[in-house]
Chains A and B, each alone.
Chain A
Amino acid sequence: MKHLALITLTLLTAFASVGYAHADSNEIRIAFIAYQNPEQVIEDVKPVIAYLEKETGMKVKYNVATNYTGIVEALRNKTADMGFMGPLQYVMAHHYAGATPILGEVYQGKPEYVSRIFVRKDSGIKTIQDLKAKSIAFTDPISSSGYLYPLELFRSSGLVKKDASEFFKRTYFAGGDEQAIRAVLNGFVDAAGIGQFAYNLLRPEERSEIITIADSAPLPSHCVVLREGFSPSMAKKLKKALLALNEGPNKHLLQNLYGVDGYVPVTNETYAGVEKVARSHGLLR
């Protein structure tokens, strides 16, 4: 497993090279998330770092984590000042570690999206009621779009009171949106409850085989989060610099920031709905 070892080493090198644990008053440390290829993210964010340094006048250091736990933990133990994460991770980071959100991401013109229940077009399944005693794939238990919000559809309809196993024959956590929607496409499961954009992970010729039978309530998109106690004046500079990417000569840098359309200001209130759902699932004790 040298390959895996190599990636780990690269990440550790990134941590080390930025002198991660030692912040000074004119320094910000950002934790980026990498889903597939950490080396690529490291390359992608370099021009963003240069831009932020120029705009804020602060020294910017960064690391790249391959999961949200790393980012949330870094905010909690104050080895990172700012991180990119999903709404549920934020809500939990706020509850347990006092984190605050500054910006929400805009995609396809909206700062929110929905979760959907996808089934095969030829399955004969038309409503969520039809899924009784069938199988479903989610992505991950700690995911708003890939678990909590789609499950809410069944809870609010009275089909599930507490646990998904009451209604479904089998429940899977496929590990990712693509794995989940492909599990439906290939007939391994009857349905998938995942974020709306998972559909676009299918190849064009595959999409016609999949339909949506239900949409969840909208949930705010992913966000940029600051650790507890981070300097308000520095936060203001960062927020301004990132918002300035929405228009103007540096707009192209958004491509390096996960390809979003832009950012909108958010507050903890933006995530009230997610917080309510998380609480009902016992995730906020």
Chain B
Amino acid sequence: MAIHRHKSHFLSCICLLLLSTAGFAHIVPPEEFHPMAESYRRLAFMVNLNPVLWDEVKKDTDAIAHELGHINSEMALSYSASVDHVFMEVEAEIQVSLATPAMRKKASRALFAHSTHAISTAIDELLNLAKIDIDEPEKSGGYLATARKIWSAYEHELKYSDPSAYFNLGQAWLDASSALGSPGLFGAGTIPTDIERFNTALTTIQEFNTVHFGETFSPAEKGWMYPLPFNSPTFDGLADIPTKLPPGSNMNKQLPRPRQILGMVERGVDESETPLIALGDLAFDSSYIFGEPARSLLISCNTCHNKGTTNPKFFIPGLSTHSGGLDVSSSFFKPAANNGHFDPLDSPDLRGIRFTAPYGRNARFASLREFVRNVIVNEFNGPEPDPMLMDGIIAYMNEFDFLPNSSLNRDGTLNENASAAAMAGEEIFNKTFETMNNKSCASCHIPNNHFLDRQSHDIGTVGGTTPYSLDRALDTPTLLSVKNTPPYMHDGRFATLTEVVEWFNVEYSLELKKKEQEELVAYLNTIGDGEESFEDTMYTLEAEMEEFSFFLSSYELALEAGKLDMAGAIFQTITTEIHAHKWDVQDQKYIPVLNEMADLMDSAYMAILGNDVDTANEHVATYREMYAANAENLK
């Protein structure tokens, strides 16, 4: 019976298939873990950060204890006591001052070690139960299947650091599953349980698990802490372990896609004649302008600013408090540029960016170029960008336009298309309040200046370093497009505009009645709306392929400038992007065509590496021919 428990035939495939390949552009379902493995992997990520969000980590230690309690309550209590002791020590120190680096490291290491031990305990205990209940193969198989799922807690690291052990243990799990046999059906197809093979396989797993991840496990003293089998004879201490984001991370972009307006496209300019903008577009979508780990994680500007707007789904545990935001000055992407404190920011909409200087939520950069360079180099660990590449990115971003809004006059006042409620809201928006220092909302969000004043103000949303510190001001954001770009405020604390209005009403004692608040929200939703705010299709490959073609129009520009490195990055980016998007194709028989196009770009890259421009040119020409011949099917 055991094998039947976790069979997944046609139907189960269907369910997952819907998630993965229904043609709904580039949505990658989250990797599924057993709750215990999920918490462990998230915890293992978060305790490596600086600062550590202890409260968040505690949620995962609690979840591990809860799951362990299902398996062995005594062991769960012991685990809880161990980690609670660590948390108490941390709390005691934080009450005196900030946790010192030594204290933080000590506590992180202890939590990591205790939790790794808890995982190994759960696996060991379940495999013991599987052995005990082998006379009931279905029950035994249930224990085995759960243990196998929990094993995924440290499988990724094992795969890269000790391939030999990983292979042997992978076979042992298969052996165990196979040895359970089959009950058959109607007495036919029965395969008896092979108890000896089963026990041998389980013992192999248990020994490795207990020896390397059991009570004596201790994480590395320096660098990122991984669950690694340090004492295994086949362990490779120099192995490169690909970075994985923790469970709960989401880099999928919103669908349907937000509508992006590029000024030159709106004017009907032929995109093939704007190669610098094309280069900027490519760079905006390219993880190659960043360094590790962003590059390997395929993070680009477009990840958080999808189509030049926002990405309300983006989330990384330990680095985000709300979807759509990130602590960009953390220890993860560039440890050296860590500012040492947790200050996640909501990713702003970049529409109309040329009208919204200064840049950064706290107005820290006067010029867009300075700001973008900082994002590349200090936030995402990229190399110093080539000046022409920077020119391209800025040229591209300067084409980002606000959405047209048929309810707005050019001076920012509402016209007759607006609702009565919005009109009433407009009056409130322009009304001065004594409690706001005789200012109105419009004093800072100036309607005839794109609803901003290009200044920074302390409105009471930032906690300063000391009671009288003057470090709380934030840049006034535009309210254009605000309807479709939640969450709100610099840290994304509010999910709706209603909450924003409520906050101002309370914070500034505006004494707005419920109806007035609703009118103000109606006004914000009107000025913050835009025509056709989203694309009308869920299928995005066609648009992506067109964009890759646009990217490629910057190749000749790079050649003329003698920048072969840049040409190589253009090819690498297109190769990566085709592979990332190819599964969105509605007819999968065109996957080989897309593979071939990606291979052509890869070959062009290899040719450029060897300074063989002629061969690269040939590959580029072939790519363009293939695209012309297949464009109508690549959607």
What is the minimal beta-carbon distance from B257 to any residue of chain A, in angstroms? 18
Q: Give the distance in Å from the alpha carbon of A284 to the alpha carbon of B191 in the complex.
A: 16
Point out the residue from B70, B145, B185 that lies within 8 Å of A68, measured CB to CB: B185
B267 within 8 A of A: no
Q: Is the CB of B4 within 8 A of A92?
A: no
List chain B residues, Cβ under 8 A from A97. 186
Do the beta carbons of B6 and A179 come within 8 Å of each other?
yes
Q: Which of A72, A89, A183, A201 has the most CB of B within 10 A?
A: A201
The closest CB in chain B to the CB of A222 belongs to B10
A176 with B6, Cβ < 8 A, contacts A1-B70, A197-B14, A284-B188 known: yes
Whether A176 lies near B170 (C-beta < 8 A) is: no
Instruction: State the Cβ distance, A42 to closest chain B Cβ, in Å.
Output: 15
The CA-CA distance from A2 to B67 in the complex, in Å, is: 9
Q: How many residues of A contact B (CB 8 A)?
A: 65
Is B189 interfacial (CB 8 A cutoff)? Answer: yes
Q: Give the residue of B9, B16, B146 whose beta carbon is less than 8 angstroms from that of A139.
A: B9
- Measured CA separation A266–B70 after assembly (Å): 45
Chain B hits for A281, CB < 8 A: 189
Which of chain B's residues have a CB closer than 8 A to the CB of A187?
167, 170
Interface pair A67/B184, CB less than 8 Å apart: no
Minimum CB–CB distance for A178 against chain B, Å: 6
Across the interface, do A172 and B174 meet the contact criterion of CB distance under 8 Å? yes
Q: B183 in the interface, Cβ–Cβ < 8 Å?
A: yes
When the two chains form their complex, are residues A172 and B178 in contact, meaning their CB atoms are under 8 A apart?
yes
Given the complex, which residues of B lie within 8 Å of A222, measured CB to CB? 9-11
- A204 interface residue per 8 A CB criterion: yes
Complex partner residue of B189 from A4, A258, A283, CB under 8 angstroms? A283
Can you list, as one digit per residue, whether each of B164-208 has a CB less than 8 Å from chain A (1) or not (0)? 001100110111011000111110110100000000000000000
If A89-B185, A177-B12, A204-B28 touch, whether A3 touches B7 (CB-CB below 8 Å) is: no
B178, A188: Cβ atoms under 8 Å? no
Q: B263 an interface residue at 8 Å Cβ cutoff? A: no
Q: Is there contact, CB below 8 Å, between B9 and A146? A: yes
Tell whether B354 is near chain A: CB-to-CB under 8 Å.
no
Does A35 contact B11, Cβ atoms closer than 8 Å? Answer: yes
Residues in A neighbouring B167, C-beta threshold 8 A: 187-188
Chain B, residue nearest A67 (CB): B4
Interface residue B442 (Cβ < 8 Å from any Cβ of A): no
- Min Cβ gap B37→A in Å is 14
CA distance A79 to B214 in the complex (A): 48
Closest to A186 in B: B170
A285 interfacial contact with B, CB 8 Å: yes
| Interfacial chain A residues near B189, Cβ < 8 Å | 141-142, 281-283
- Compute how far the CA of A67 lies from the CA of B1 in the bound complex, rounded to whole angstroms: 9
Which residues 126-153 of B sit at the A interface, judged by CB distance below 8 A? Answer: 129, 141-143, 145-146
> In the complex, what distance in Å separates the CA atom of A36 from the CA atom of B2?
14
Q: Is the CB of A179 within 8 A of B177?
A: yes
Contact stretch, chosen from B17-25, B310-318, B513-521, B558-566:
B17-25
How many Å from the CB of A212 to the closest CB on chain B?
12
The answer to whether A172 touches B175, judged by C-beta atoms less than 8 angstroms apart, is yes
Q: Which B residues lie within 8 Å of A95 (CB)?
A: 186
Interface residues of A in 1-15 (CB under 8 A from B): 1-4
Residue of B nearest to A8 (CB): B142
Known: A1-B71, A186-B159. Contact between A200 and B20, CB under 8 A? Answer: yes
A273-285 vs B, Cβ < 8 Å mask (1 yes, 0 no): 0000000011111
Q: Which of B17, B170, B171, B184 lies in contact with A197, CB distance below 8 A?
A: B17
Q: Does B537 contact A (CB under 8 A)?
A: no
Is A270 engaged at the interface, CB distance under 8 Å to the other chain? no
Within the assembled complex, what's the spacing in Å between the Cα atoms of A94 and B515?
Answer: 67
Asked whether, in the complex, the Cβ of B4 is within 8 Å of the Cβ of A2, the reply is no
The complex places the Cα of A260 from the Cα of B12 at a distance, in Å, of 11
Residue A215 at the B interface, CB < 8 A?
Answer: no
| B10–A173 touching, CB < 8 Å | no
B15 interface contact, C-beta 8 A: yes
Kindly report which residue of chain A lies nearest to residue B31, judged by CB atoms: A203
A203 touches B185 (CB 8 A): no
Are B10 and A174 touching (Cβ within 8 A)? no
> CA–CA, A282 to B171, complex, Å?
29
B85 within 8 A of A: no
Interface residues on B, range: 35 or more
A178 contacts B8, CB within 8 Å? Answer: yes
For the complex, give the distance between the alpha carbons of A198 and B186 in Å.
Answer: 27
Q: Does B5 contact A (CB under 8 A)?
A: yes
**Is A100's CB within 8 Å of the partner chain B?**
no
For chain A, residues 51 to 98, give those with C-beta under 8 angstroms from any C-beta of chain B: 66-69, 72, 84, 86, 89, 92, 95-97
Q: Which residue of B lies closest to A5 (CB)?
A: B70
- Contact partners of A179 in chain B: CB under 8 A: 6, 174, 177
- Please report which residues of chain A, range 106-148, place their CB below 8 angstroms from some CB of chain B when the two chains form the complex: 107, 113, 137, 139-143, 145-146
Bound complex: CA A198 to CA B173 (Å)? 19
Q: Cβ of B606: which chain A residues have Cβ within 8 Å of it?
A: none
Query: Would you call A218 an interface residue if the criterion is a C-beta within 8 Å of the partner chain's C-beta atoms?
Result: no
Question: Does B13 count as interface, using CB distance less than 8 angstroms?
Answer: yes
A228 to B11, CA, bound (A): 24
For B146, list chain A residues within 8 Å (CB): 3-4
Q: What residues of B have a CB within 8 angstroms of the CB of A260 in the complex?
A: 14
Closest to B126 in A: A1
Interface centre among B20, B143, B166, B177 (most CB of A within 10 A): B177
Contacts of B18 in A (CB 8 A): 255, 259
**Contacts A1-B70, A172-B177, A258-B15 hold; do A205 and B579 have CB atoms under 8 A apart?**
yes
Tell me the complex Cα distance, A260–B10, Å: 10
Contact B28 A208 (CB under 8 A): no
Given known contacts A4-B146, A200-B21, A175 and B11 CB-to-CB distance under 8 angstroms? no
* A162 contacts partner chain B, Cβ-Cβ < 8 Å: no
Question: Nearest Cβ in chain A — how far from B4, in angstroms?
Answer: 4
Q: Known contacts A35-B15, A67-B7, A195-B13; is A141 also within 8 Å of B182 by CB?
A: yes
Whether a CB of chain A sits under 8 angstroms from the CB of B580 is yes
Residue of B nearest to A208 (CB): B579
Is B10 within 8 A of A195, CB to CB?
yes
- Contact flags B532-558 to A (C-beta < 8 A → 1, else 0): 000000000000000000000000000
Chain A residues near B191: list those with CB within 8 A.
Answer: 141
Cα distance A200–B69 in the bound complex, in angstroms: 35
Q: How many Å lie between the Cα of A19 and that of B171 in the bound state?
A: 44
B154 at the interface (CB under 8 A from A): no
CB of A33 within 8 Å of the partner chain: yes
A175 in contact with B145 given A107-B10, A140-B7 (CB within 8 Å): yes
For the complex, is A207 an interface residue (Cβ under 8 Å from B)? Answer: yes
Chain B residues in 8 Å Cβ range of A72? 185-186
User: Taking each of B159, B186, B595, which has the highest tally of chain A beta carbons within 10 Å of its own beta carbon?
Assistant: B186
Determine whether B112 belongs to the interface, using a CB cutoff of 8 Å to chain A.
Answer: no
| Interfacial residues of chain A within 181-222, with CB under 8 A of chain B in the complex | 183, 186-189, 195, 197-198, 200-201, 203-205, 207-208, 221-222
- Using CB atoms and an 8 Å cutoff, list the residues of chain B in contact with chain A: 1-18, 20-21, 28, 31, 67, 69-71, 129, 141-143, 145-146, 159, 166-167, 170-171, 173-175, 177-178, 182-186, 188-189, 191, 579-580, 583, 595
- Closest 9 interchain pairs by CB? A197-B13, A188-B170, A35-B12, A67-B4, A176-B8, A96-B186, A141-B182, A258-B11, A172-B174
A188-B167, A197-B14, A283-B188 known; 18 other A-B pairs, CB under 8 Å?
A: A35-B15, A36-B8, A68-B4, A69-B1, A92-B185, A95-B186, A105-B11, A141-B3, A172-B177, A175-B2, A175-B3, A183-B174, A186-B166, A198-B13, A201-B13, A203-B28, A204-B580, A208-B579
- Enumerate 17 A-B pairs (CB-CB under 8 Å) in ascending A order: A1-B142, A33-B11, A107-B10, A141-B184, A142-B189, A143-B9, A172-B178, A173-B177, A176-B8, A187-B167, A197-B13, A201-B13, A203-B20, A221-B10, A259-B15, A282-B189, A283-B188
